[in-house]
Amino acid sequence: MFHLRAGQVSDNPFHMLAMNYRGPYRIRADRHKPDPEILHPGDAIIRVTRSCICGSDLHLYHGLVPDTRVGTTFGHEFTGVVMDVGNDVKNLKPGDHVLVPFNIACGSCPFCRQELYGNCHESNAEASAAGGIFGYSHTAGGFDGGQAEYVRVPYADVGPVKIPENMDPDDAVLLTDVLPTGYQAAEMAGIKKGDTVVVFGAGPIGIMAAKCAWLFGAGRVIVIDHVEYRLDFVRTYAQCEAYNFKSIGDPVLFLKKATDYYGADVCIDAVGCEAEGSAIQTFTGRRLLMQAGSATALNWAINSVKKGGIVSVVGVYGPTMNLVAIGNVVNKGITIRANQASVKRLLPKLISHVENGFIDPKGIITHKIPLEEVAYAYRIFSSKLDNCIKTVLVP
């Protein structure tokens, strides 16, 4: 990776334009690194056509992910045109327009062979948990991401998929993470016909999880957040109930009352480590960093699900400990299912769902912003300004 030394300028006109992380809340787009090159015969170089900002990027932006190095370019949700391929690449050729799953996966390790593409053992030196992820710090392999003009894609025969001819690239870019993650959240929840499903979080992931819950036969879908414009959005987009946790009293009690005091059949955590709603969790997890973020939404999920129910977690947490209500998990007999989404596994099905009109992923895009204005784009998404739900950066 290219790092600036003291006195070095970051605006070399011969370098590509790329998002540049300078420290928490400090990012910009500049020309601080050269165009990427083929480093391995399995690589492809891709000229980015669309690149989204994700809730996961906010954890990086807020300085919560360990070993996020200055100079890193974020961006794990992107589409682009293949410019060059290494000698071993068979499935792609220059000129192909592809969508690239956010997981970097080798395709042949024991975990990839089980279709656990988010847990590849080869793509990340820190392979004890998640595999490599584009633009997601050195704890996820140290790969540069797609919030740039060009990006290097390792294992290019495994992840990238040619965008079907009739598919809108705005739909395609949401197939790299948001739709598969929302779908997997609903899938892991084991929803049965008629189930009451509660989704915590009305960001892009929670919105998709709510939408997908119906595909699995849910009878009732309830979304909890505290950002009113997002609650309004999800009510329409996912045709569900949606409540502001700041105006319903204790959300756990509210949900118990709403379910004959049994609790929901399944709960989905689509919030993760930056959850609000509990002063003690926020103070210990987000201010003092004594735990890996705040487990507020996860605890609400555990406490609102019925006995024997399932809690599905796609919200991101750090590897160290959290103050989670494990006693309630044991005593209620709850099953917790969690993972990074396995995008490649889900793509064939989800591409056909989009082509058949079952889901309209691009419907959640609220902003298209030039890459030059990346700092503004992060600010409005992070601070929930201008009714922002999903932003696409266009290089």
Ligand X SMILES: NC(=O)c1ccc[n+]([C@@H]2O[C@H](COP(=O)([O-])OP(=O)(O)OC[C@H]3O[C@@H](n4cnc5c(N)ncnc54)[C@H](O)[C@@H]3O)[C@@H](O)[C@H]2O)c1
Regarding 38 and contact with Zn ion (CB under 5 A), the answer is no
Compute the least distance from the CB of residue 36 to Zn ion, in Å. 20
Regarding 177 and contact with Zn ion (CB under 5 A), the answer is yes
Regarding 54 and contact with Zn ion (CB under 5 A), the answer is yes
Regarding 389 and contact with Zn ion (CB under 5 A), the answer is no
- Binding partner of 226, given Zn ion, ligand X, none, CB within 5-8 angstroms per partner class: ligand X
| Selection from 289, 273, 269 nearest residue 225 by Cα | 269
Regarding 297 and contact with ligand X (CB under 6 A), the answer is yes
Q: Could you give the CA distance from residue 301 to residue 271 in angstroms, rounded to a whole number?
A: 11
Which residue among 42, 86, 135, 203 contacts ligand X (CB under 6 A)?
203
Compute the least distance from the CB of residue 58 to ligand X, in Å. 5
Residue closer to ligand X by CB (options 17, 119) is 119
Regarding 271 and contact with ligand X (CB under 6 A), the answer is yes
Angle between helical axes of 178-188 and 343-355 (0-180°, round to 10): 100
Which residue among 112, 188, 238, 240 contacts Zn ion (CB under 5 A)?
112
Residue 284 Cα to chain centre, angstroms: 24
Residue closer to Zn ion by CB (options 107, 164) is 107
Regarding 365 and contact with ligand X (CB under 6 A), the answer is no
Which residue among 19, 52, 148, 205 contacts ligand X (CB under 6 A)?
205
Residue closer to ligand X by CB (options 15, 235) is 235
Regarding 64 and contact with ligand X (CB under 6 A), the answer is no
Which residue among 79, 259, 322, 340 contacts ligand X (CB under 6 A)?
340
Interface residues with ligand X (CB under 6 A)? Answer: 54-56, 58-59, 177, 181, 200-206, 224-227, 230, 245, 270-272, 275-277, 296-297, 314-316, 340-341
